[in-house]
């Protein structure tokens, strides 16, 4: 236990009289009669601690020393200040039992002296005065096996075991850590961590500058511990030693061995300084659960500040991950489940603020500041379900942007929900689902959209977000950017809801907000017919299905009302008579529909083949034929195709049968033409 009473044990004591804590004398064994005084012990140890030393630790008993009846008598002796003793003066005032005087059993010594001791007394308390390692030890004659760890166990050359008396957290300085900003403290800190894990203790880093030239290993299969410091601003700093180079960095400052899921660990009130890439990670674990990262600051790491992997119920709160050369938080393995990131600052990282590079279940990001992260603010790769981003502040994320390779484009966005299966490739095989992005403030700068989503399997809600822009010129900005892949898989953004978003009144002249931006329309096979956008009227612009005529010839065939088939009580039309029929539909003149000018619309209809291997395709005169697979069954399915209407002119819409045989029939029902944001009453899910 450190001496925190204002005296460091090396100065400040007057010479003469009693033997002082800082007094130097020759030989450990020669000081049996030169113990620290009762009053000095009380100042150093505290009344309760002195009572413990005088009682439970002496003679290995839980009783008070020499049969004393109280804590006071154990410390001062019987009759202190009473009767004939009242008013007497002297070193042991009031002590009528000299065998119980603390002067008789508290010995002043050093670690070096204990290590060369050849004899010891189990009834004595040995006060170690080494700076930073001060504390009380006792000799344990029953122990012949414990190893010397400098901090809690000292072993003499003769094999005597002296054990520290403590009830509070372990102090990393007890184990020899200097914290002077020069010395390599890795070995001392490792001793402290190993000792703490042996007991499941808290390990305390007092304010200092600790340098390490090797990662501090934490055994995930050992007992959980708390690693705490004096503060994450100017308190307990852990840095890479001068011998470490950014070209050959340490894996991490704290490195879990990941032999099993590490449970119930805590890091709090420390700073990890990567020294411009001398640490790949600040804290690295691939398996962890029920653990807490609180008030920690990690800066200048090479790959990511915090790497967290497989596990559940972990919390990151009131932390700061800034100025890192890579990411702030990185998902290092699959199944990062039930993770909370709360009130945390992610600032000026060269990569991604929160990089969900692997799948997860249940991530909540709340009240965070996500600012000036060069690639993007939040990125999800696959199966991040559900994802909740609320009450955060976003500013100037995406200056460098995220480069996609298929399709080839640079995406500048705050939140990228990609659902991809390989880096940089858009696909929808592993969609993110149940996404809620609400009540955030977004300061628009280099980014072009707030949310970019290429795959959302069940729902995506972007609502009640406020947008501002402090820069000129004025910018057009999308609430949701989506699209499809060149492979024809299509953007699968299902049940998107966009509402309540707006530009702060004072910034409306500098920012134009559009709810939706859809890319790669010619390859689209989207689910945007399920989207609902506030302010979009639920109007169907398609004429009656019975009025459809050929708008693109070359295939032949017929389009007629079926006399035998109904679909949900609605009329059904048959396309037959050719392998690939004409396109039957209608033409829209924008002069007659000014509301649709410059808007995204979708043509949708239900289709059922009479035989496997017969398919349906939607058509617009701007984009051509949609890419639609030939189904292997004959069930009803919904066909949907998105297009962007021009400012003026005409656009033709239609549908056709595609098949290798003229002998099959395609049944179609309930064709619609609606603005994206007005959902179709879907009786059949696509």
- pLDDT tops 90 at residue 174: yes
In angstroms, the CA 429 to CA 381 distance is: 11
Query: What is residue 528's predicted lDDT score, i.e. its pLDDT?
Result: 86
Residues 626 and 656 in one domain: yes
The answer to whether 605 and 639 have CB atoms below 8 angstroms apart is yes
Query: What is residue 234's predicted lDDT score, i.e. its pLDDT?
Result: 73
Alpha-carbon dihedral 378, 382, 387, 389, rounded to 10 degrees? 10
The answer to whether 311 and 261 have CB atoms below 8 angstroms apart is yes
DSSP-derived secondary structure for 176-204:
T---EEEEE-HHHHHHHHHHHHHHT-EEE
Query: What is residue 220's predicted lDDT score, i.e. its pLDDT?
Result: 97
161 SS3 class: strand
**Could you give the number of structural domains in the chain?**
4
**CATH at residue 644:** 2.60.120.260
How remote is the C-alpha of 196 from its chain's centroid? Answer: 25
What does residue 594 show for φ and ψ, rounded to 5 degrees? -60, -25
Query: What is residue 454's predicted lDDT score, i.e. its pLDDT?
Result: 83
What letter would DSSP give residue 146? P
Average confidence (pLDDT) over 300-308: 98
Position with higher pLDDT, 81 vs 301: 301
- pLDDT tops 50 at residue 39: no
Residue finishing a domain among 350, 369, 389: 350
**Cα–Cα distance list, 473 to 396, 445, 509, 516 (Å):** 15, 10, 10, 21
Residue finishing a domain among 518, 536, 554: 536
Query: What is residue 423's predicted lDDT score, i.e. its pLDDT?
Result: 66
- pLDDT tops 80 at residue 422: no
Residues 239 and 304 in one domain: yes
Q: List the Cα angle 496/499/504 in 5-degree steps.
A: 135
Confidence tier at 231 by pLDDT (50, 70, 90): confident
Confidence tier at 421 by pLDDT (50, 70, 90): low
Residues 577 and 625 in one domain: yes
In angstroms, the CA 124 to CA 234 distance is: 40
Confidence tier at 197 by pLDDT (50, 70, 90): very high
Average confidence (pLDDT) over 601-606: 94
Dig out the tokens for 82 from the structure.
């009473």
Residue 87 covered by a domain:
no
Dig out the tokens for 176 from the structure.
């020899």
- pLDDT tops 80 at residue 48: no
Sign of torsion over alpha carbons 233, 234, 236, 237: positive
Average confidence (pLDDT) over 568-597: 96
Extended strands (E) in 519-557: 532-533, 549-552
113 SS3 class: helix
Query: What is residue 100's predicted lDDT score, i.e. its pLDDT?
Result: 43
Residue 38 covered by a domain:
no
The answer to whether 554 and 548 have CB atoms below 8 angstroms apart is no
In angstroms, the CA 501 to CA 439 distance is: 9
**Cα–Cα distance list, 570 to 209, 567, 599, 636, 656 (Å):** 77, 5, 29, 13, 19
443 SS3 class: strand
Residue 41 covered by a domain:
no
Residues 517 and 440 in one domain: yes
Confidence tier at 419 by pLDDT (50, 70, 90): low
Dig out the tokens for 614 from the structure.
């017969």
Residues 115 and 201 in one domain: no
Confidence tier at 523 by pLDDT (50, 70, 90): low
149-163, 197-211, 512-526, 530-544, range with the lowest pLDDT: 512-526
**CATH at residue 207:** 2.160.20.10
Closest CA to 156 of 130, 121, 127, 119: 119
In angstroms, the CA 315 to CA 465 distance is: 25
Q: Which domain holds residue 137?
A: 101-167
- pLDDT tops 80 at residue 310: yes
DSSP lists the bridge partners of residue 518 as 482
Residues 297 and 186 in one domain: yes
Quote the mean pLDDT of the chain.
Answer: 85
Residues 308 and 451 in one domain: no
Query: What residues contact residue 614 under an 8 Å CB cut-off, 6+ apart?
Result: 630, 631, 657, 658, 659, 661, 664, 665, 666
- pLDDT tops 90 at residue 308: yes
Query: What is residue 99's predicted lDDT score, i.e. its pLDDT?
Result: 42
In angstroms, the CA 55 to CA 521 distance is: 83
182-191, 485-494, 607-616, range with the lowest pLDDT: 485-494
Residue 456 covered by a domain:
yes
Peptide bond into 386 cis (omega under 30): yes
**Cα–Cα distance list, 483 to 57, 486, 515 (Å):** 73, 10, 14
Per-residue pLDDT of 622-652, as tens digits, reads 999 986 667 888 999 988 899 999 999 999 9
Residues 158 and 226 in one domain: no
Query: What is residue 676's predicted lDDT score, i.e. its pLDDT?
Result: 94
Confidence tier at 272 by pLDDT (50, 70, 90): very high
Residue 60 covered by a domain:
no
Per-residue pLDDT of 382-402, as tens digits, reads 778 899 999 999 999 999 999
Residue 53 covered by a domain:
no
Residues 230 and 183 in one domain: yes
Residue ranges of the alpha helices (H) in 511-561?
none
Confidence tier at 97 by pLDDT (50, 70, 90): very low
Residues 408 and 296 in one domain: no
Average confidence (pLDDT) over 131-152: 97
Nearest-Å Rg of the Cα atoms of the chain is: 37
How remote is the C-alpha of 20 from its chain's centroid? Answer: 52
Inter-axis angle of helices 47-54 and 38-45, nearest 10:
120
Q: In the chain, what percentage of residues exceed pLDDT 90?
A: 69
In angstroms, the CA 338 to CA 258 distance is: 19
Residues 522 and 618 in one domain: no
Confidence tier at 8 by pLDDT (50, 70, 90): very low
174 SS3 class: helix
Give the number of other Cβ atoms within 10 Å of residue 99's Cβ: 11
Query: What residues contact residue 663 under an 8 Å CB cut-off, 6+ apart?
Result: none
In angstroms, the CA 655 to CA 49 distance is: 88
Residue 74 covered by a domain:
no
74 SS3 class: helix
Confidence tier at 611 by pLDDT (50, 70, 90): very high
Residue 578 covered by a domain:
yes
Query: What is residue 682's predicted lDDT score, i.e. its pLDDT?
Result: 58
Residues 414 and 510 in one domain: yes
């Amino acid at each position: 236990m450190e001496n925190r009473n204002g005296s460091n044990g090396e100065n400040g004591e007057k010479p003469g009289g009693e033997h002082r804590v800082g007094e130097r004398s020759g030989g450990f064994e020669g000081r049996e009669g030169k113990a620290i005084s009762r009053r000095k012990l009380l100042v150093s140890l505290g009344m309760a601690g002195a009572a413990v030393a005088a009682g439970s630790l002496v003679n290995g008993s839980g009783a008070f020393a020499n049969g004393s009846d109280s804590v006071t008598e154990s410390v001062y002796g019987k009759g202190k200040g009473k009767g004939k003793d009242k008013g007497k003066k002297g070193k042991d005032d009031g002590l009528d039992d000299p065998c119980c005087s603390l002067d008789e059993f508290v010995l002043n010594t050093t670690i070096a002296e204990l290590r060369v001791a050849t004899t010891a007394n189990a009834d004595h308390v040995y006060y170690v005065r080494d700076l930073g390692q001060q504390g009380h030890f006792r000799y344990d004659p029953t122990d012949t096996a414990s190893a010397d760890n400098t901090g809690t166990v000292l072993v003499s050359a003769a094999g005597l075991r002296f054990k520290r008396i403590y009830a509070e957290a372990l102090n990393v300085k007890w184990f020899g850590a200097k914290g002077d900003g020069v010395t390599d403290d890795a070995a001392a800190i490792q001793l402290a961590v190993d000792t703490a894990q042996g007991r499941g203790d808290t390990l305390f880093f007092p304010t200092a500058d600790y340098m390490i030239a090797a990662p501090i290993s934490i055994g995930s299969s050992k007992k959980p511990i708390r690693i705490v410091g004096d503060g994450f601003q100017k308190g307990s700093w852990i840095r890479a030693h001068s011998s470490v180079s950014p070209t050959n960095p340490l894996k991490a400052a704290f490195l879990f061995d990941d032999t099993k899921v590490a449970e119930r660990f805590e890091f709090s009130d420390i700073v990890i300084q990567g020294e411009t890439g001398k640490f790949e990670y600040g804290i690295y674990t691939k398996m962890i659960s029920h653990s807490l990262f609180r008030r920690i600051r990690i800066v200048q790491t090479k790959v990511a500040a915090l790497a967290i992997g497989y596990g559940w119920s972990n919390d990151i709160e009131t932390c700061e991950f800034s100025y890192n050369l890579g990411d702030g938080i990185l998902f290092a393995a699959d199944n990062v489940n039930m993770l909370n990131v709360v009130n945390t600052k992610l600032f000026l990282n060269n990569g991604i603020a929160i990089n969900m590079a692997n799948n997860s279940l249940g991530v909540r990001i709340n009240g965070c500041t996500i600012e000036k992260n060069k690639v993007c603010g939040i990125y999800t790769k696959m199966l991040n379900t559900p994802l909740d981003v609320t009450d955060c502040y976003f500013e100037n994320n995406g200056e460098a942007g995220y480069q996609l390779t298929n399709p080839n484009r640079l995406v500048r966005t705050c939140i990228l929900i990609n659902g991809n299966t390989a880096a940089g490739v858009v696909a929808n095989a592993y969609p993110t689902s149940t996404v809620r992005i609400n009540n955030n403030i977004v300061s628009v700068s280099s980014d072009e959209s707030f949310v970019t989503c290429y795959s959302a399997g069940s729902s995506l809600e972007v609502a009640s977000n406020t947008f501002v822009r402090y820069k000129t010129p004025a910018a057009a900005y999308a609430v949701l950017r989506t699209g499809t892949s060149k492979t024809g898989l299509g953007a699968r953004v299902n049940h998107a809801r966009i509402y309540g978003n707006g530009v702060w009144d004072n910034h409306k002249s500098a920012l134009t907000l559009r709810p939706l931006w859809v890319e790669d329309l010619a390859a689209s096979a989207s689910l945007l017919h399920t989207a609902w956008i506030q302010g979009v009227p639920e109007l169907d612009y398609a004429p009656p299905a019975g009025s459809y005529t050929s708008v693109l010839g070359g295939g032949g065939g017929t389009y007629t009302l079926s006399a035998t088939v109904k679909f949900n009580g609605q009329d059904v039309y048959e396309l037959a008579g050719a392998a690939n029929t004409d396109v039957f539909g209608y033409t829209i003149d924008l002069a007659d529909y000014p509301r649709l000018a410059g808007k995204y619309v979708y043509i949708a209809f239900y289709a059922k083949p009479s035989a496997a291997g017969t398919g349906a395709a939607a058509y617009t005169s701007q984009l051509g034929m949609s890419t639609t697979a030939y189904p292997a069954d004959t069930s009803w399915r919904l066909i949907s195709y998105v297009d962007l209407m021009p400012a003026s002119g005409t656009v033709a819409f239609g549908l056709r049968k595609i098949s290798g045989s003229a002998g099959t029939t395609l049944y179609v029902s309930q064709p619609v033409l609606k603005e994206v944001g007005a959902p179709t009453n879907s009786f059949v899910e696509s």
